[in-house]
Amino acid sequence: MSSDATSLRSLIDKWVASTPASPIRLTRLTYAKRRSVRCVRAESIRASGSLAIFFFRHDDGAWCVFPPMSERPTMRALMKVQ
C-alpha cells in the first residue's frame, strides 16, 4: 500500500458524512473483464435526495474516487544474441 494511502473509512467520512438521521449504506461491487476491479458504493439518503459515491481500489492498495487506469497494449522488442 502506498504511504499516502487513505483508509476507505476515512474517505467515506470525508465524502459522505454520516449522521444518525442519514446513515451510510455500503455495497461491494466487483467487475471482472480482463482483471478484477474492486469498488464500493457508499449511499446516504438525505432530505435533499440520495447521494451515492463509488470508491475504487487501486493496485497499490489505495482507495480513490476515480477508477484505476486500464492496462494499455505495449510493444516489446526481442533481441537475439548470436
Shortest CA distance to 43 belongs to which of 14, 16, 6, 9? 16
Range of the structural domain that residue 57 is part of: 8-64
Provide the domain count of the chain: 1
Residue 72: inside a domain, yes or no?
Answer: no
Reported pTM: 0.67
Q: Which residues lie closer than 8 Å to 46 by C-beta, 6 or more apart?
A: 22
Is residue 42 in some structural domain? yes
Task: Determine contact, residues 66/53, Cβ cutoff 8 Å.
Answer: no
Phi, psi of 11 (to 5 degrees): -65, -40
Task: Tell me the residue type at 10.
Answer: S
Residue 43 lies in a domain: yes
Q: How far apart are CA 48 and CA 25, in angstroms?
A: 17
Per-residue pLDDT of the chain (82 residues; tens, 9 = 90+): 444 557 888 888 888 877 788 888 888 876 656 566 788 899 988 888 888 899 988 888 888 888 887 777 777 777 777 6
